[in-house]
Amino acid sequence: MSALAAVFWVSAGLLVYAQAGYPLALALAAALVRSRPPAAGAGAPPEVSLIVPAHDEAAVVAAKVANARALQWPREALEIVVCSDGSADDTVARARDAGADLVLDLPRVGKVRAQDAGVAAARGELLAFSDANSTWDAAALRELAAAFADPQVGYACGQMRFVQAAAGPGADNQEGLYWRYEMAIRGAESRLRSVTAGNGGIYAVRREAYLVVDERMGHDLSFPFNMVKRGWRAVYVPAARATEKMVPSLDGEFARKRRMMSHAWPIVLRGGMLAPRGYGLRYAWMIASHRLLRYAAPALHVLALVSCALLVAGGRGWVYDACLAAQLVLIAGALAGARVRARPLLVARYYVLMQAATAAGLWDYLRHGTPAGWSAPEGTR
């Protein structure tokens, strides 16, 4: 086998493994693991502080506080903390009027530092976190808190369901389909060991397990693997459900993912994810398969496309002709998805744009770093 052929088969093989082989192997491994019996809770429910960072969230913060007050949890054991991150609108006043127990009117410090301030001011032994535009099911907090009856659990995330906020020509985002695939993987990871990432809209942490991380490194990606390094489990609780409006358009989703990846790359490159100490073999396998190979996918796609094209140009056989054709069909489908609202074309466009967003996020991080602040994505409020 030539070096060029080796480049193609290795890059193509890693892509197929990351997207399909790993989920299948993970599901099989998780099925062979004896399920953990649910631990029985004892005594009074723990005091929970639900912390909601908010930057210019006047449109939704009152509804968020009302949603929190309606949760199936003793009101005297639930503290609702809204952390306004330099809001220029009347987020603070609306949160107070809606009945939040504590509203912090902070300067613009970024989401992570706003959460840190909320933790410092909160009184709960269990710290729950949500976004201002996330709506929790009434039983979500009860289900999430139940995971902490297991003393090994330091972090638990719930199931986020993304709903299309609008119809019409621009409502073509396929994030909901991807997220169902992602949640299936996280469920198997949780059963086998721990999840490799969470979701900012619905999660909780023991106070003693809470970490103060770099202001640019969000909790979603930095908390789970750091919990494992410190001897905790990070689990997924599918019965703890929440919903959010997703960005209506694929172009808007590209911009959102690009921003997210500019925060993810510093975690990968210098935030400790690449250091396997404390993982154990199973979790190291999951990090390598689900995180590192996923983020390397744009480069692998380029290698597979270029090497295959060169092999076809050299007349190396029909197998390479077919592989190149398949790659070109994916690209053509993504381009056609910009004009034709057919589901297969939209899925192809979503996949290609998300690969591009991963690469663009790395470019943004390397070029000018990652800002700590954030703004609400288009159409999600």
166 within domain boundaries? yes
Please determine, for residue 176, whether its predicted confidence score (pLDDT) is greater than 80: no
User: What average pLDDT does range 243-268 have in this prediction?
Assistant: 88
CATH number, domain of 214, equals 3.90.550.10
- What are the CA-CA distances from residue 18 to residues 13, 26, 99, 235, 275 (Å)? 9, 11, 46, 21, 20
pLDDT at 316: 83
How far is residue 94's CA from residue 62's CA, in Å, rounded to a whole number? 6
pLDDT at 376: 67
Percent of the chain's residues with pLDDT above 70: 93
The pLDDT-based confidence of 380 (bands split at 50, 70, 90) is: low
Contact 55, 84 (CB under 8 A): yes
How far is residue 251's CA from residue 346's CA, in Å, rounded to a whole number? 12
Contact 119, 206 (CB under 8 A): no
158 within domain boundaries? yes
Whether the full predicted model's pTM is greater than 0.85, yes or no, is yes
Number of neighbours of residue 245 by Cβ within 10 angstroms? 18
pLDDT at 44: 78
Please determine, for residue 172, whether its predicted confidence score (pLDDT) is greater than 80: no
How far is residue 48's CA from residue 301's CA, in Å, rounded to a whole number? 45
User: What average pLDDT does range 323-338 have in this prediction?
Assistant: 93
User: What average pLDDT does range 241-256 have in this prediction?
Assistant: 87
Higher pLDDT, 115 or 316: 115
72 within domain boundaries? yes
Q: How does strand 126-129 pair with strand 203-206?
A: antiparallel
Pick the range with the lowest mean pLDDT from 8-17, 182-191, 310-319.
Answer: 310-319
366 within domain boundaries? no
Specify the DSSP class assigned to residue 373: -
59-76 pLDDT, tens per residue? Answer: 999 999 999 999 999 999
Contact 244, 134 (CB under 8 A): yes
57 within domain boundaries? yes
Question: What's the one-letter identity of residue 275?
Answer: A
Higher pLDDT, 283 or 179: 283
User: What average pLDDT does range 89-100 have in this prediction?
Assistant: 96
Backbone angles phi, psi at 48, to 5 degrees: -115, 135
Higher pLDDT, 167 or 240: 240
The string of DSSP letters for 189-213 reads HHHHS--S---TTSEEEEGGG----
Please determine, for residue 23, whether its predicted confidence score (pLDDT) is greater than 90: yes
224 within domain boundaries? yes
pLDDT at 39: 60
pLDDT at 303: 97
How far is residue 358's CA from residue 62's CA, in Å, rounded to a whole number? 34
How far is residue 72's CA from residue 301's CA, in Å, rounded to a whole number? 47
Q: How many folded domains does the chain comprise?
A: 1
Question: What's the one-letter identity of residue 41?
Answer: G
User: What average pLDDT does range 41-62 have in this prediction?
Assistant: 90
pLDDT at 164: 72
How far is residue 143's CA from residue 137's CA, in Å, rounded to a whole number? 10
Q: List beta partners, residue 243.
A: 135, 161
The pLDDT-based confidence of 167 (bands split at 50, 70, 90) is: low
Please determine, for residue 379, whether its predicted confidence score (pLDDT) is greater than 60: no
pLDDT at 38: 58
Boundaries of domain holding 107: 48-248
